[in-house]
Structure 1
């Protein structure tokens, strides 16, 4: 742990990757806690469109926002300052970008770097902390965890996951009631595609509808897709109940590793672009069993649904944001606040800390004991894990039938450096 500096320096906060229903709650936690420690932290700048804002010196002065506007972030979905999918290469491959970051931070007297994102963001945060120290101007880089995929290691869960899990479970239940009512003469199979490239945490949440009396099949990225066994399972459920629901993760893949939904393109992080597993699975059911079906892709809806956010998730998102600032003020560097579960029933947790060296580029997958032996459902252990994370409702205020969300002014900070070209 580095010695905490008593010299007042500014802070930089940025949002990265796919946003969530509660990432702004973390932003609220960071900014409000920094404002409460104005004797130690000067201005709080935000990056417009994530780390790109730092590279291009496109900074936002959050001090221009009222306390009420910042407080409203807690109940506002998406990324209030703009996010991005921009992965910095290794320091060796592209040192100019890291040196640019340090130059921008030095020009604006930034000594605290709070990066709110997933595994790639943790890696960037770690590299910035290392490089800045080697350049003689240490920057306290704290990663603020966020990912709907719930795949960051060490932390029990990731802010953003509880809300998407609640949305998927509730939506799957409601759609299943629809299918059940029409099964006698119409639709017999409903397929819902959810996010999750390599880890099936979100798909697992859909499995909770089993406890509500719904026949359900879950397809995980962790279990290679076996078409023959899948068709047999759907056939059994439809014959017994008259219908069934299928929850398929976008990362569901064949035994050779090919994604059911692979489009042949890649995103900005170099990952295969996915989308379309639901119609593939529905088509298999139609060809093999002849059942009428409907399918849906939750897509952005699942991660933007602030109206049905988990209260647990909102609280945890805010707390890790606040904890990031507190850790920095205590002198910590290259760490991430974590959620440590201490009890399932009643649900209890505390905020811990993990070194970024153990977090960066490490994915947490579904444990095999969370998946039923046949590979198509979730176990009691998984349900005990999931249930507390979707508990509680924290609905936003509504006006004229619509939720009241924050739209910030996002006033730009004057630039001090020459323009920088992204490559």
Structure 2
């Protein structure tokens, strides 16, 4: 693609948003390495959009080539992230104007926001306000979410690695349960992320491919939780197989629409903070069926397990970062590089631009055709979709201490030019 960059003055700002993934830093590497190849300096916002508002910027040119390359295998958010949602232009115009002021003060002409639905909406609004304020800023969304709920894109970078971790964990824990079931645990419950969409829970279904293979029950947020049906299925499975593995999405609700694990608090995006559905289900199993149980809540482990990342996911995460820079330098605005699947077997994919307006504030839920008729498993169609996303291994290098050799950047601060601003 032709570049419109003016390396002597223009800069690119990159920011990470929301919950990180095992491969979000691979996207950062794709952004920085591609920008460097075009002679463009990259600033990063410290702790996401808050860093842009506070004018706490990081000069990535101070990092070595090797350090940036190491981001491809390092989990977490290298520059810090945050859960902070910019509301409407009408109610929070001062914040948006502050962003434009910061961009203008540092000669930043491209803003790349690496996040999910809310981040796509923010990038879209900044691009609109830039025009209104007479400042030429090109905004590109970089897709990321473990929940796989971004619209338009075939899958969300970050999901494939969580899916692999979930499927492997389900398989390994189930082998443990099977070996102990005669005298100990009869039911194992694994709680996974997924407030409104059951993609991660569905990925657990890849651990087995027949009726008696784990997971024996998957509880999706797309379905209303039926206590009687759940207990009957668990009982029948234990009587037939000798034990039972359950994978439950954190977002399952009862017939009244209430989360089973509602904790009563909300995060910065207005989402309910869920307090743990696995112990609720375990209590039901014990009280109603009398079975011994164990439950697990991997929580952050799901999205930080870079050692078990999907090679496919890592490659896609890098590719969207690279494409985002290419789109920006080609003069595109208010778009997001998305993954387009061109074949299932063998799996083939490509990257194409999509308007942010078609991504922002849209949520992709699982098709009903991906859930079995009884509501507790995945169909062949779901398996065809999910299986390629966990393919391949991309292990990090290991040090002499036996631990992964992850990189920690210097994150050299950029000198500030504006007065303080408190969001």
Instruction: Give SS of 1:295's match.
Output: strand
Residue aligning to 2:184: 186
Which residue matches 1:88? Answer: 86
Match of 1:177 among 175, 183, 192: 175
Q: Find the partner of 1:66 among 51, 57, 64.
A: 64
Give CA-to-partner distance per residue, 1:139-163, whole Å, 9 cap, x none: 1100000000000000000000000
The TM-score normalised by the length of structure 1 is 0.97
- How much has 1:330 moved relative to structure 2? 1.4
Distance 1:288 1:45 in 2: 57
Counterpart in 1 of 2:138?
A: 140
The alignment's TM-score, normalised by the length of structure 2, stands at: 0.97
Alignment of 1:342-353 (within 5 A): 342-353=342-353
Judge conservation of contact 2:171–2:208 (CA < 8 Å) in 1. no
C-alpha contact (below 8 Å) 1:14/1:51 kept by paired residues = yes
- Unpaired segments of 5 or more residues in structure 2? none
Equivalenced residue count is 417
1:59-138 correspondence runs (5 A): 59-138=57-136
Superposition map of 1:400-415 within 5 A: 400-415=401-416
Q: Which residue of 2 aligns with 1:12?
A: 13
Name structure 1 gaps, 5 residues minimum.
Answer: none
Once superposed, which parts of structure 1, at least 4 consecutive aligned residues long, lie more than 6 Å away? none
Quote the offset at 1:334 in angstroms.
Answer: 0.2
Q: Is the 8 A contact 1:192 1:278 kept in 2?
A: yes
Q: State the secondary structure of the residue aligned to 2:51.
A: helix
Q: RMSD over aligned Cα, in angstroms?
A: 1.1
Q: Does residue 285 of structure 2 align to residue 268 of structure 1? A: no
| Superposition pairs of residues 204-223 of structure 1, within 5 angstroms | 204-211=202-209, 213-223=213-223
One of 164, 188, 211 as aligned partner of 1:166: 164
| Distance in structure 2 (CA, Å) of the matches to 1:377 and 1:215 | 8
Residue 80 of structure 1: SS of its match in structure 2? coil
Taking the aligned partners of 1:409 and 1:4, their CA distance within structure 2 comes to 29
For 2:316 and 2:5, locate their aligned partners in 1 and report how far apart those are by CA, in whole Å.
Answer: 29
Shift of 1:138: 2.0
Pairs within 5 Å for 1:215-364: 215-364=215-364
Residues 141 and 335 in structure 2, CA contact (< 8 A), matched pair in contact too: yes
Residue pair 1:215, 1:237 contacting (<8 A) in 2 also: no
